[in-house]
Amino acid sequence: MNKFSKGISTLLLALLFLTSACKANISRNDDGSVTVETSITQQELQELISSSIADPLVQDLTVSLQTGYVSVTGTRQRLNDASKKDTLGFRLDLSASNGQLIASVSNAQIDGIAIDQNRVDNWNQTIANRLSNFGGGQRNATLQSVSITPEIVTLTWNATK
pLDDT on residue 18: 41
pLDDT on residue 150: 97
With a cut of 70, which residues of the chain have pLDDT below it?
A: 1-23, 134-139
- Convert the pLDDT of each residue in 102-112 to its tens digit: 999 999 999 99
Distance CA 125, CA 98 (A): 16
pLDDT on residue 23: 66
pLDDT on residue 16: 46
- Find residue 31's DSSP bridge partners: none
Distance CA 139, CA 65 (A): 28
**Domain spans in the chain, listed from the N-terminal domain onward:** 3-159
Q: Say how many C-beta atoms besides its own lie within 10 A of residue 59's C-beta.
A: 13
Distance CA 3, CA 147 (A): 34
pLDDT on residue 136: 55
How far is the CA of 81 from the CAs of 76, 85, 87, 136, in angstroms? 11, 8, 15, 41
